[in-house]
Amino acid sequence: QDQFVESGGGLVQPGGSLRLSCAASGFTLRQYGVSWYRQHPETERELVATIASGGLITNYADSGKGRFTISRSNTRNTVYLQMNNLKPEDTAVYYCNRITSPLPWGQGTQVTVSS
């Protein structure tokens, strides 16, 4: 079964860092561009960052520019999101998905930024 499993979330103080992981299984990740998304309570899911299949092209929503870095290891079938200088407004459930032929959404990983 093709799926992603997100991990790495947690509780962190403002200004702290987290590294999220998005592990793919059931398919060859190198064939797909991948995006990270997040969803605040009672809001729609929003795009955070995107990485092309080869890893050389990345794009970020304004909310994460200069603070977030998306990367990938096709040998490990995993996409990462390094988040630095976290703010309370980054609190959300974070998800990943393929850009083309998206899969059913996984459970995501909760990120809570609070003092």
pLDDT in tens, 15-58: 999 999 999 999 999 999 999 999 998 899 999 999 999 889 99
Cα gap 10→50, rounded to integer Å: 22
Cα gap 57→71, rounded to integer Å: 10
At residue 90, φ and ψ (nearest 5 deg) are -80, -10
DSSP state, 85?
S
pLDDT in tens, 76-100: 999 999 999 999 999 999 999 999 9
Cα gap 46→53, rounded to integer Å: 20
